[in-house]
Structure 1
Amino acid sequence: MAREAETHADIPFGPEDTPWQKTFSGLRVVGGRPYGTPPSSDPRAAYIGVPEVPHHKVQLPPTGLDAEQYTEAEALFRRHIDTQTRNFAGYQVTSALDYEERLGHYLNRHLNNVGDPYQSNSYTLNSKVLERAVLDYFASLWHAKWPHNPEDPESYWGYVLTMGSSEGNLYGLWNAREYLSCKPLRTHPREPGNVPVEQALRGEGPHVFHPVAFFSEDTHYSLTKAVRALDIDTFHALGSTRYPDENPLAPGSPWPREVPSTEHGAIDIEQLAVLVRFFASRGYPILVNLNYGSTFKGAYDDVEAAARTVRGICAEYGLDNRRVHRNCGKNSDYDERSGYWLHVDGALGAGYAPYLEMARDAGLVEQAPPTFDFRITDVHSLTMSGHKWMGTPWACGVFMTRTGLQMAPPRPSEYIGAADTTFAGSRNGFSSLLMWDYLARHSYDDQARLAAECDGLAAYTHEQLLALQEQLGQDLWVARSPQALTVRFRQPHADIVRRYSLSGETVHVDGAARTYVHLYAMRHLTRQRVDQLIGELRQPGAFAPASSTRTTAGGVREAQPDGPGADTASR
């Protein structure tokens, strides 16, 4: 073992290819041996390479990098990132950023928004004053009651996320699980020495505390992670274990993993209704996630129609208004709360669609996506990513709900002097500064014009890809969901995918597995860049020979030829 470790220590390491064990100075040698463990294998062979940034140039030996080595390494990385930024087209984030000149000063300042955004504390290096301004802005944009008032259950409560909407989804589903399981609300008083315990009235059935989650097959993968982390049963998991032969969509067949979507990627409300009814009729509280700008197809669920459907079904089975008792010391009281929860994952759409609605009303565009926000009384929580439409150097976002729906947090932390009502604890205060800066510099009029321009660019891209498809005489599976900022098409050659950072996904159409990529018409993308991409797609060899994979009844995957018109259903 010692000889093996010594051999591994001889692996070339760092910009000068120095054997690892010779990268230590005397101060870093403990007991005659280098501090720490040697590499178990050559990291250059173990990791996926980036040709423009050779791994050995950025490796970090214990001595660090000298000035010349650092300059070379940073220049390589900068050139790579700048090139990719110019061509970046495949993801729903904005890369045209201009914060450096105004906000660079704060990179040498610590900003931590630990604890509740509306409570001051002894940790004074924070940007909560800006965070509250940002939250009020979105509360107004999303038609919530504002400002936040802890005494008014109808006013909004929210916070700026340290992660993107994945954190907002996690927090929203946690809040939903606790609410539907009849756990204590934050607004309930606590008597000294007593911990409030809540439970629904007896006789409401054995599943009264057992929420069931529903989300569509076009839902972001963070929902799957969230339900697993939070131990929330999905309708698939519960149906497969307790009711294996009772799939209401296809009796005798296995339960689907997600609620089916329409051809455009929106949740199929009719099939959602069938699934919700199955569990509501058995007394299970209902937790529904809806997408507003789905990740790959950019589809908008009809939130209002879904909410109306879910509420109607739950009302039939007494889940529209449940009386939940509280036992707090000498007092015994109750509150009334719904037996269902609707969370909207608006990672892109919630930050973009309101401005497109303004553009429509101003005659700049013809259509806008359906209503999604707190104008719909049955929307319980909502999340949005700041790095998508607005554009920030890192992931961030907003979570919002109503004050009366907040669950009781852990005990107040004397250490920070405020209740820790958020998910992250320590929260990045720089994100609130960035979002405040962007919103301060872009009026509603500015945003509406930008939204109209991006909608127009998505339409232009769609038209150009359809024209290319006709020119090549080959079905490229070109499709755009209604009002989506993304256009999807057949995956081209790997070099093109990498150059433009095109996101890929395999989609099944009539039993055929098709690998698509998509392009997002975000604010930084131009017609010139789209034309450049179309020009590359026009070249011989840009696409593999036309075929798709079809799964037969016997489970065999067969190659199928494609020609013009083979995918009319996907357009």
Structure 2
Amino acid sequence: MAREAETHADIPFGPEDTPWQKTFSGLRVVGGRPYGTPPSSDPREAYIAVPEVPHHKVQLPPTGLDANQYTEAEALFRSHIDTQTRNFAGYQVTSALDYEGRLGHYLNRHLNNVGDPYQSGSYTLNSKVLERAVLDYFASLWHAKWPHDPKDPESYWGYVLTMGSSEGNLYGLWNARDYLSGRPLRADPRQPGRETAAGQTPRGAGAHAFHPVAFFSEDTHYSLTKAVRALDIDTFHALGSTRYPDDNPLAPGTPWPRQVPSTEHGAIDVEQLAVLVRFFASRGHPILVSLNHGSTFKGAYDDVEAVARTVRGICAQYGLDSRRVRGESGGPEERSGFWVHVDGALGAGYTPYLEMARDVGMVQQAPPAFDFRLPDVHSLTMSGHKWMGTPWACGVFMTRTGLQMAPPGASEYIGAADTTFAGSRNGFSALLMWDYLARHSYDDLVRLAARCDDLAAYTHARLLALQEQLGRDLWVARSPQSLTVRFRQPRADIVRRYSLSGETVHADGAARAYVHLYAMRHLTRQRVDELIGELRQPGAFPRSP
């Protein structure tokens, strides 16, 4: 073993290809041997290569990098990132950012928004005063009652996420699980929650009264699958496959589908969702539905209003529209037996402005309502790095105060109730979002939404024209009002150059390798034309079925 370690210690390491065991200073050699373990193999061969940034140039020897080595490594990485930023087209994030000159000062300040946004507590190095302004902005934009009032169950409650909408989905489903399972709400913002007494059964239900079942479409972002696994929430597929294996109501005698089927454009199929919901509602299960608002590969918008109306109607038939559970005081408490969550990672930050653009005649159509105008929308999330654009993932989660779950325990140490998911939360994100919204009026964002909608239509038209010119089906498609256009996957070097997101889509019984392009604000017609030019060249699309 020692001889093997010595051999591995000879592996060249760092910008000068120095054998690993010789990269230590005298202070880091203990008993004549370097501190730590040597590499078990050459990292340059173990990792995916980034040709523009040779791995040995950025490796970190124990001595660190000297000034020249650092300058070279950082220049290589900067050039690579700048090139990829210039061509970035395949993902629903904005890369045209403008924060450095104004906000660089705060990079040397620790901003931690730990705990509830509406309680500053004793941890004063935070940006909660800005966070509250951002949350009020989105509460108004999403037609919620604001400002937040802990005594008003109809007012909104929310917080700025440390991650993107994946955290918002996780928190929303956690809140939904506890709400539908009869666990305590946050009756007193100063007190931690207490478990509901076992055996309390809501009116009109039986043995499954506290066993919620989750539904989401086959086009839903993969974070929902992670969330239900992490939270141990049964999906209709998992429960149906184990308890009712031969009773799939969509096709009796066949395996249960893993997700709710979608339409051609990627929106959840409301009629098939209704069949599945009815199956479980009739057996007394609370219903948890997660919907998409522009947050899928196809960029589709689920018809939130139609789904909410359908789910409520079915639940009403089985006593799940309003049911009594034991509250914090031990007395009866009215709750619905269903929860509708909306993943609006991109769309929730974009379509309100598109709706305004439609109302003044700048565009012809906008997606259907998705927000708190609909009384049966229980929670909503959005990513800040997508439509607005931030240097890192962040976002907003929002629900109604009366639906807010109780914190799992006391948090006296920070001087504020920890009602969020992450604990320590990045306070810089609230600052970035505040800065962006402070510098852009509704009018600015309405014009921008109309321009991006026009760019998506332009891209769609150019790809259709290319398809006709090449005489080959490129599977070009754009879902209604979507900012994304999808088409046949081209050569690997083109995919990498433009960071085109890929996904296998099944159509007409065959698997098709697609990519898509997102018309975000940093993208231009010139860049689209450059991509079309590359796609026009011989061999741009590999010959495949």
Normalising to structure 1: TM-score of the pair? 0.94
CA RMSD of aligned residues (A): 1.4
Partners of 1:200 and 1:322 within 8 A in 2: no
Q: Distance in 1 between matches of 2:202 and 2:305?
A: 30
Write out aligned runs for 1:514-553 (5 A): 514-545=512-543, 547-548=544-545
Deviation at 1:13, TM superposition (A): 0.3
Q: Does 1:88 align with 2:88?
A: yes
Aligned to 1:184: 184
Q: Distance in 2 between matches of 1:250 and 1:33?
A: 67
Aligned to 2:244: 243
Aligned to 1:562: none
Q: C-alpha deviations, 1:192-224, integer Å up to 9, x for none?
A: 998664733477311001000000000000000
Which amino acid letter does the alignment assign opposite residue 401 of structure 2?
T
Secondary structure of 1:525's aligned partner:
coil
Aligned to 2:31: 31
Q: Distance in 1 between matches of 2:239 and 2:427?
A: 40
Deviation at 1:32, TM superposition (A): 1.7
Q: Distance in 1 between matches of 2:328 and 2:391?
A: 48
Q: Does 1:376 align with 2:397?
A: no
Q: Distance in 2 between matches of 1:193 and 1:140?
A: 29
Aligned to 2:66: 66
Deviation at 1:169, TM superposition (A): 0.1
Q: Distance in 2 between matches of 1:127 and 1:313?
A: 44
Number of aligned residue pairs:
544
Aligned to 1:349: 347
Partners of 2:193 and 2:406 within 8 A in 1: no
Deviation at 1:411, TM superposition (A): 2.8
Q: Distance in 2 between matches of 1:189 and 1:223?
A: 28
Write out aligned runs for 1:94-133 (5 A): 94-133=94-133
Deviation at 1:31, TM superposition (A): 1.9
Which amino acid letter does the alignment assign opposite residue 402 of structure 1?
R
Report the CA distance shift for 1:377/1:195 in structure 2 as closer, same or farther (over 3 A): closer
Partners of 1:155 and 1:402 within 8 A in 2: yes
Which amino acid letter does the alignment assign opposite residue 508 of structure 1?
H
Deviation at 1:296, TM superposition (A): 0.7
Write out aligned runs for 1:269-284 (5 A): 269-284=270-285
Q: Distance in 2 between matches of 1:168 and 1:260?
A: 24
Write out aligned runs for 1:484-495 (5 A): 484-495=482-493
Secondary structure of 1:290's aligned partner:
strand
Q: Distance in 2 between matches of 1:313 and 1:241?
A: 24
Q: Does 1:42 align with 2:4?
A: no
Which amino acid letter does the alignment assign opposite residue 155 of structure 1?
S
Partners of 1:197 and 1:327 within 8 A in 2: no
Aligned to 1:401: 399
Q: Distance in 2 between matches of 1:101 and 1:191?
A: 42
Q: C-alpha deviations, 1:512-570, integer Å up to 9, x for none?
A: 1000000000000000000000000000000012x43xxxxxxxxxxxxxxxxxxxxxx
Q: Distance in 1 between matches of 2:391 and 2:60?
A: 24
Q: Distance in 2 between matches of 1:175 and 1:192?
A: 15
Write out aligned runs for 1:158-173 (5 A): 158-173=158-173
Deviation at 1:187, TM superposition (A): 1.4
Aligned to 2:208: 207
Q: Does 1:444 align with 2:442?
A: yes
Q: Distance in 1 between matches of 2:251 and 2:317?
A: 23
Secondary structure of 1:430's aligned partner:
helix
Secondary structure of 2:414's aligned partner:
coil
Q: Distance in 2 between matches of 1:419 and 1:337?
A: 24
Q: Distance in 2 between matches of 1:310 and 1:374?
A: 16
Q: Distance in 1 between matches of 2:257 and 2:154?
A: 37
Partners of 1:412 and 1:418 within 8 A in 2: no
Partners of 1:136 and 1:146 within 8 A in 2: yes
Write out aligned runs for 1:247-258 (5 A): 247-258=248-259
Partners of 2:9 and 2:39 within 8 A in 1: yes
Q: Which ranges of structure 2 fall in alignment gaps of 5 or more residues?
A: none
Picking from 435, 458, 464, the partner of 1:460 is 458
Deviation at 1:106, TM superposition (A): 0.4
Partners of 2:192 and 2:409 within 8 A in 1: no
Deviation at 1:294, TM superposition (A): 2.9
Q: Distance in 1 between matches of 2:402 and 2:49?
A: 51
Normalising to structure 2: TM-score of the pair? 0.98
Q: Distance in 2 between matches of 1:192 and 1:388?
A: 34
Which amino acid letter does the alignment assign opposite residue 211 of structure 2?
H
Partners of 2:171 and 2:421 within 8 A in 1: yes
Partners of 2:192 and 2:406 within 8 A in 1: no
Partners of 2:189 and 2:417 within 8 A in 1: no
Q: Distance in 2 between matches of 1:128 and 1:192?
A: 21
Q: Distance in 2 between matches of 1:350 and 1:44?
A: 42
Partners of 1:265 and 1:294 within 8 A in 2: no
Q: Distance in 2 between matches of 1:238 and 1:442?
A: 47
Deviation at 1:410, TM superposition (A): 2.4
Identity %: 87
Q: Distance in 1 between matches of 2:229 and 2:245?
A: 20
Report the CA distance shift for 1:440/1:90 in structure 2 as closer, same or farther (over 3 A): same
Q: Distance in 2 between matches of 1:107 and 1:194?
A: 40
Q: C-alpha deviations, 1:420-457, integer Å up to 9, x for none?
A: 00000000000000000000000000000000000000
Q: Distance in 2 between matches of 1:164 and 1:101?
A: 24
Which amino acid letter does the alignment assign opposite residue 505 of structure 1?
E
